[in-house]
Structure 1
Amino acid sequence: MAIAETTIRRIIAARDDRISLVTRIAIEVGAEIIEDVIRPGHDLNSVDLARRYATSRTPIREALMLLEKEGLVDIPPRRRPRVQAMNVPMIREIYRTRGVLLEFVAADVARNADKNELELLEQAVNEMDRAHHNDDIRAYLWANIAFHDLNLTVSKNQTAKRIVESLLLRTIHLRRVSLCQPGRLEASLEDHRQLIKAYQQRDANLAGALIRSNHSNALRNLEISLT
């Protein structure tokens, strides 16, 4: 849960020196959504949450609005807020957009990363390998997120980084669902091993193709599991 909370805080409160009550509620509830403690489609009762945090409903509403902005919560008119449950068309939009952006990112890394940066990326994939060896999907997911965060930083493509990070929170649950499909963990790890080799060979076209293929396969797995 601590990793999920840290990730949400980085997205919604990166510039805050002190965490307000509204932000704390958003971070904690958001982490529970990301970690599947609160499942997609589940109602979020503002009265219960107000009781939990010993506050009025106003900070609860503001916190849920923050999570709505990040795609974790749906607040329909005149109805109770609920955890966002994405349909297949929404998922396709996200994965296709993310795949195209990360294709550019991978090409930038292949062309411009220095030796130290490539070593750091390889170490990040080794963390994924350890999680896979331990058959720990949760650890693999967070190691994968750490790899792609580093990948964005190394690319120095700030525009792509901002857009991909804006999609991060709404993709974490989806990535977990995809990785739970038979054979997907092994395929994902192999894709990232090959990506490191493409980086080391300075092959921007191959690096971009690997990222594109990885996202296409993940989307295909989601389409199968959700339909």
Structure 2
Amino acid sequence: MDTMSAEDSLARAQTTIQRIIASRDDRVSLVTQIAIEIGAEIIEDVIPPGHDLNSVDLSRRYKTSRTPIREALMLLEKEGLVDIPPRRRPRVLVMDLPMIREIYRTRAAILEFVSADVAETASPEELDQLEAAVADMARACSDGNVNAYLWANIAFHDLNLVVSKNLTAKRIVESLLLKTIRLRRKSLSQEGRLAASLDDHKRLVRAYRERDPRLAAALVHANHYNALRNLESSSQ
């Protein structure tokens, strides 16, 4: 996990999208494969926000008719990556500040409940697993590798949700995941943000070990709102 190239990060994005789509429909079809590849390119900023998604060009790329392209783009619209305005060409979704605030406030509120559950119910073995996930984050932080840190952070929170055993929270957070990956990378790219995030997660695991649900929830709240402030300042 120490180093991660752009190609490795793109592959992780594809795997993540495939996992989320498979949770709704486990058939790997041409439509889902197109959605996985285009979605990963959106997440990795290969296709930037606001970019037109021309179905004619994409049908040439995938050597298929425009129908599977349209269906794939509709699938990505449901996942919050693509905007399909009436009578206009589909484009990569552009998130404005009100939408970003809404996403971060919602995610923070849910993960506060999750962290409180983990602090109260996680087994020692589960806490060891979470600590190992933070160690992966620490190695990426030491290397200054934002992509490696991002995916280690995603792995930590995936595990955190599993340990919480709160299936409702897990479904909601996963429904927001694809929308947040670009935002999280942008926030983590700000100077000093990797180290601050790592410190928050180390303190979170300590709060878990101390069985302190209030401190755990407060740390999750602070981490999300600090990230949100970073995004707000970078958007001005």
Whether the TM-score (by the shorter chain) exceeds 0.5 is yes
Contact map agreement 1:13 1:23 (CA 8 A) in 2: no
Matched residue, 1:154: 163
Residue 16 of structure 1: CA displacement? Answer: 4.5
1:63 partnered with 2:72: yes
Distance across 1 between alignment mates of 2:219 and 2:12: 27
Distance across 2 between alignment mates of 1:69 and 1:36: 19
Matched residue, 1:27: 36
Residue 14 of structure 1: CA displacement? Answer: 3.0
1:14 partnered with 2:9: no
Residues 130, 40 of structure 1: alpha-carbon distance in 2 compared, 3 angstrom cutoff: same
Distance across 1 between alignment mates of 2:197 and 2:212: 19
What does 1:94-109 correspond to in 2, within 5 Å? 94-109=103-118
Residue 2 of structure 1: CA displacement? Answer: 1.3
Matched residue, 2:184: 175
| Residue aligned with 2:64, SS | coil
The one-character-per-residue Cα deviations of 1:95-131 (angstroms, maximum 9, x if unpaired) are 0000000000000000000011000000000000000
Distance across 2 between alignment mates of 1:186 and 1:11: 29
1:207 partnered with 2:200: no
Contact map agreement 1:128 1:143 (CA 8 A) in 2: yes
The one-character-per-residue Cα deviations of 1:130-156 (angstroms, maximum 9, x if unpaired) are 001111000000000000000000000
Distance across 1 between alignment mates of 2:18 and 2:112: 27
The TM-score normalised by the length of structure 2 is: 0.95
What does 1:79-98 correspond to in 2, within 5 Å? 79-98=88-107
| Structure 1 gaps, min length 5 | none
What does 1:98-137 correspond to in 2, within 5 Å? 98-137=107-146
Matched residue, 1:73: 82
RMSD value, Cα = 0.8
- Percent identity for Structure 1 against Structure 2: 73
Matched residue, 2:4: none
| Structure 2 gaps, min length 5 | 1-9
Distance across 2 between alignment mates of 1:149 and 1:120: 12
Runs of 4+ in structure 1 displaced over 4 angstroms?
none
